């Protein structure tokens, strides 16, 4: 159930593993020039930034372009409920750097840009130190760019845009980053956890990766458990673990809970009765129409109102819209406003029906997936908290007594 692959070795809380210790523990970096992409494909490695896109496919699309490419290491981690990328950067920076060097070799890149959230001071310091410990030939390829603290900063076209001209806003597709990215070159944008796994798969092989996943489809995964637990914390679990296991690793429930937000602010609310037994495996979740997203498990305490929480998240996502595309600028804002009216017992008769219809109009109608992700959260909230939503609208009261007191 608990996995120890990415976080194997010294206790992650003791800080960054240095280059010498890293190399002594895992051996030198393999050349990885030949066949690494095939190995990643056999392993079935998928991206850990949220979209779960097959890594080998992404690398091939960059490697097949002409001319030098660029590797953009994505450690922006703008998801408010996620801490796993930070924990990894702070504790295992050399796994990430190994993966970045391997990615550069496999895709023909001569530049590696480390794009790290400006607010993540510990991660920035650890990555800076780690870069300086690398051999000259590698260090020369690398630079570090601080990502602005916005939700969209980590979106891959926004990341490329910021590195190019200091604007962390998504751009219209095409061209996609693999076609024209940093400095107009084919660019591989890859999450730090994904790259760390590349460093391990290059050493241990694809069969090892499948085995370490505990029968799941995706190796181990880093998850952040927050909400009704003693403190938000990051854990490594394999595909045999269920949500209840992750919650136990985080110290267990501090109160009853009726629902879990799985995947992050772009994720789905799941009723607790169904959530506890859900396997933390990308493949198994996707069969159930769910996504592990960036590994977020947000446990809603039963003293918190799901309607209010969902309205706050919708408001946050509307605030964080880059306001470039109409459906997101106006549609998501209207949804958030209507949800807030419902949550504060000021809903009009049509508000709920409007939210339902507008949420259906968000997917596929932005340059990036911001509206799509918001729609997933909103629609799952309407489903999971259906009774509570209708109570708010019809009777201006809430299932949770404490929340009524707050709203009054």
> Which CB atom, from 306 or from 331, has the smaller least distance to another protein?
331
Site pattern 253..282 for another protein (x: CB under 8 A)? ------------------------------
Residue written as tokens 């997101």? 328
CB of 136 to another protein, least distance (A): 41
CB of 350 to another protein, least distance (A): 12
Identify the residue among 51, 144, 232, 334 touching another protein (CB under 8 A): 334
> Which CB atom, from 325 or from 377, has the smaller least distance to another protein?
325
- Give me the half-sphere count of Cα atoms (radius 13 Å) on the Cβ side of residue 65: 23
Residue written as tokens 């107009």? 184
CB of 177 to another protein, least distance (A): 16
Helix axes 55-63, 93-107, angle to 10 degrees: 50
CB of 321 to another protein, least distance (A): 12
Residue-wise DSSP of 360-393: HT-TT-SSSSHHHHHHHHHHHHHHHTHHHHHHHH
- Give the start-end residues of each E strand in 89-204: 109-117, 142-147, 187-191
CB of 370 to another protein, least distance (A): 11
- Residues in 154-173 that interact with another protein by CB under 8 A: 170-172
358 is a site residue for another protein (CB under 8 A)? yes
Q: Is 295 in contact with 84 (CB distance < 8 Å)?
A: yes
> Which CB atom, from 48 or from 370, has the smaller least distance to another protein?
370
Residue written as tokens 């920076």? 93
321 is a site residue for another protein (CB under 8 A)? no
366 is a site residue for another protein (CB under 8 A)? yes
Identify the residue among 327, 391, 399, 404 touching another protein (CB under 8 A): 327
3-state secondary structure of 63: helix
152 is a site residue for another protein (CB under 8 A)? no
> Which CB atom, from 358 or from 389, has the smaller least distance to another protein?
358
CB of 169 to another protein, least distance (A): 9
| 310 to 8, 258, 305, 333, 394: CA distances (angstroms) | 36, 14, 9, 14, 18
CB of 161 to another protein, least distance (A): 11
Q: Of 46, 161, 65, 58, nearest to 108 (Cα)?
A: 65
348 is a site residue for another protein (CB under 8 A)? no
- 150: its two tokens: 């916005």
Identify the residue among 60, 139, 365, 397 touching another protein (CB under 8 A): 365
| 371 to 309, 352, 353, 366, 378: CA distances (angstroms) | 18, 18, 18, 6, 10
Q: Is 362 in contact with 331 (CB distance < 8 Å)?
A: yes
Identify the residue among 211, 277, 361, 386 touching another protein (CB under 8 A): 361
326 is a site residue for another protein (CB under 8 A)? yes
Identify the residue among 44, 239, 279, 331 touching another protein (CB under 8 A): 331
CB of 366 to another protein, least distance (A): 6
Which DSSP category does 49 fall into?
S
Q: Of 53, 151, 139, nearest to 104 (Cα)?
A: 139
Q: What residues line the site for another protein (CB under 8 A)?
A: 170-172, 324-327, 330-331, 334, 358, 361, 365-367
């Amino acid at each position: 159930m608990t996995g120890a692959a990415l976080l194997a070795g010294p206790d992650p809380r003791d800080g960054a593993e240095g280059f010498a210790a890293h190399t002594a523990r895992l051996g030198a970096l393999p050349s990885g020039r030949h066949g690494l992409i095939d190995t990643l494909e056999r392993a079935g490695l998928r991206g850990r930034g949220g979209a779960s896109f097959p890594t080998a496919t992404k690398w091939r699309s960059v490697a097949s372009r002409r001319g030098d490419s660029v590797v953009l290491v994505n450690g922006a981690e703008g998801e408010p409920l996620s801490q796993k990328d930070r924990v990894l950067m702070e504790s295992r920076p050399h796994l990430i750097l190994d993966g970045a060097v391997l990615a550069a070799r496999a895709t023909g890149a001569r530049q590696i840009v480390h794009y790290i959230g400006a607010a993540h001071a510990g991660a920035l310091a650890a990555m800076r130190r780690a870069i300086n410990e690398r051999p000259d030939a590698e260090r020369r390829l690398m630079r570090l760019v601080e990502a602005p603290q916005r939700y969209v900063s980590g979106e891959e076209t926004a990341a490329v845009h910021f590195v190019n001209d200091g604007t962390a806003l998504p751009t219209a597709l095409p061209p996609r980053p693999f076609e024209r990215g940093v400095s107009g070159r084919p660019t591989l944008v890859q999450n730090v956890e994904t790259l760390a796994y590349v460093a391990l798969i290059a050493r241990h092989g694809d069969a090892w990766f499948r085995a370490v996943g505990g029968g799941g489809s995706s190796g181990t995964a880093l998850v952040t458990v927050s909400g009704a637990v003693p403190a938000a914390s990051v854990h490594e679990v394999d595909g045999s673990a269920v949500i209840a296991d992750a919650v136990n690793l985080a110290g267990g429930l501090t109160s009853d809970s009726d629902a879990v937000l799985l995947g992050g602010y772009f994720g789905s609310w799941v009723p607790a009765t169904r959530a506890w037994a859900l396997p933390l495996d990308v493949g198994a979740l996707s069969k159930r129409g769910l996504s592990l997203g960036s590994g977020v498990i947000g446990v809603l305490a039963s003293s918190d109102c799901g309607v209010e929480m969902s309205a706050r998240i919708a408001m946050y996502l509307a605030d964080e819209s880059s306001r470039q595309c109409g459906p997101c600028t106006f549609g998501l804002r209207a949804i958030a406003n209507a949800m807030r009216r419902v949550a504060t017992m000021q809903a009009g008769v049509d508000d709920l029906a409007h939210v339902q219809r507008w949420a259906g109009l968000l997917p596929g109608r932005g340059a990036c997936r911001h509206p799509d992700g918001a729609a997933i959260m909103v629609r799952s909230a309407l489903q999971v908290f259906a009774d509570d939503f209708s109570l708010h609208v019809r009777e201006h009261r809430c299932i949770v007594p404490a929340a009524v007191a707050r709203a009054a």
